[in-house]
Amino acid sequence: MKRLIISCAVIVVLLANACFAESKPVNKKTTRAKEKQKIEQTTATKQAPKKILMKFTMGMVEGNRIDPNYAGPSIESVIESVEKTTNLTKGEFESTAAFNARKETAISAKFLNGFTIDDTFAFVVPVSKGGRYLSGIAYEFDADTSEVRFFALAKNSSLNGIGDQNFKPSYSFNSPLMDQFSVYRRIDRRNSYEASNAYGAKITVNETVSSDFGIAAPTIPFLTYKRSYLYSNPTPASQIKMESSKAQKELPALKAIIIMKLAAPYMTYHFVHIKPTRDSPSEITSKQKFLTGEVLGIIFYSGLTGEIFARIPEDFGKAMARPEAQPQEKASEGI
């Protein structure tokens, strides 16, 4: 009996060894090489230089091309910085004169390591492809006529101001009509939940909470079309001829920038909440923040080569007998 137990134990050990023998052996050289590569990558990451943010200057758009890799500060970072600078509250024991002085000091301060509120800002904005309805910065291509049509279709409406820390609820509050362009949307939360009505009917509701960052300005004078929420047959702001072979490469990589100067009140806010219904089971919450000021111009350009395709207005930023190119100004450090 003991011999039988010992024999079984030996068989089990042999089978276990056989199983381990089928697994791939450890290659010590490969392991050491991977460890060395990981150390080198970590060291390179630590030693990587800080990103240099290029300040925008008009000289950057006076030629026929824009650097396709141009990256100024993101609109989200500018809005957050301007918000900290301007969204001040008067203290209980602070005089109006002292508060105004503190406000002026804050507004004149630099932010993002070198930018000021008086700088000219250029924001890269998404360019949507044409469809039945158009809005925002968009293009259409007609293969029959080899024409590219460029659109800058502003949403024009009042803003309710909800989101400003100094906002005071009032049913009568509404800002003047303002042209708005959305630049960036951040999804803060997506969620699904089950809801029911008074009769016990149940539906699944899809909830989305987002933060939207954009530009708002008094009606932009060089955009002369009749304003609408969505545009079904708008007049293009500019159009050019482009061969289909070139359009096939260029248009999917198309870029646009909106160039603006900030102006008081520098920031404005809007809040939207759409409740779900049985026919439309979506709950949408949008917290919107806009930079305010003067929109100077809009430029469509190649994301591949930087070639400028259209300027709105047409003469915006064109070079005027420049004797020599001025050096581009940089912010001291990135963020």
Q: Which of 32-41, 186-195, 204-213, 244-253 has the lowest mean pLDDT?
A: 32-41
Return the percentage of the chain with pLDDT > 90, whole number.
53
pLDDT at residue 40 is higher than 70 = no
Is 90 exceeded by the pLDDT of residue 50?
Answer: no
Percent with pLDDT over 70 in the chain: 77
Across 95-99, 134-138, 240-244, 277-281, the highest mean pLDDT is recorded for 240-244
- Please give the pLDDT value at position 27: 46
User: What is the band of 52 on the pLDDT scale with cuts at 50, 70, 90?
Assistant: low
Least confident range from 4-8, 89-93, 127-131, 327-331: namely: 4-8
- Please return the burial class of 288, using the count of CB atoms within 10 Å of its CB with bins 0-12, 13-18 and 19+: buried
State residue 172's pLDDT score: 54
How confident is the model over 164-190, as a mean pLDDT? Answer: 82
Q: Is the pLDDT of residue 311 over 70?
A: yes
Q: Using the Cα atoms of residue 185, residue 187, residue 192 and residue 196 in order, give the sign of their dihedral.
A: negative
- Which is nearest to 299 in space by CA: 253, 252, 257? 257
Query: Is the pLDDT score of 144 beyond 70?
Result: yes
For the segment 280-306, what is each residue's pLDDT rounded down to a tens digit? 999 999 999 999 999 999 999 999 999
pLDDT tens digits, residue range 201-240? 888 999 999 999 999 999 999 999 998 878 888 999 999 9
Rg of the chain over Cα atoms, rounded to whole angstroms, equals 29
Write the single-letter amino acid at 102.
Answer: R
Answer yes or no: are the C-beta atoms of 120 and 261 closer than 8 Å.
yes
pTM: 0.76
Average model confidence (pLDDT) across the chain: 81
CB atoms within 10 A of CB 150: 23
pLDDT band at 143 (very low <50, low <70, confident <90, very high): very high
Q: Which residues contact 115 (CB under 8 A, 6 or more apart)?
A: 53, 55, 73, 78, 81, 331
Query: Across residues 298-317, what is the average pLDDT?
Result: 95
- Please compute the mean of the pLDDT values over residues 89-98 and round it to a whole number: 88
In this model, does residue 252 exceed pLDDT 70?
Answer: yes
Report the pLDDT value the prediction gives residue 37, as an integer from 0 to 100: 52
Contact 208, 190 (CB under 8 A): yes
Mean pLDDT computed over 144-166: 91
Q: At what angle do helices 96-108 and 75-86 cross, to 10 degrees?
A: 160
> If pLDDT is split at 50, 70 and 90, which confidence band does 87 have?
confident
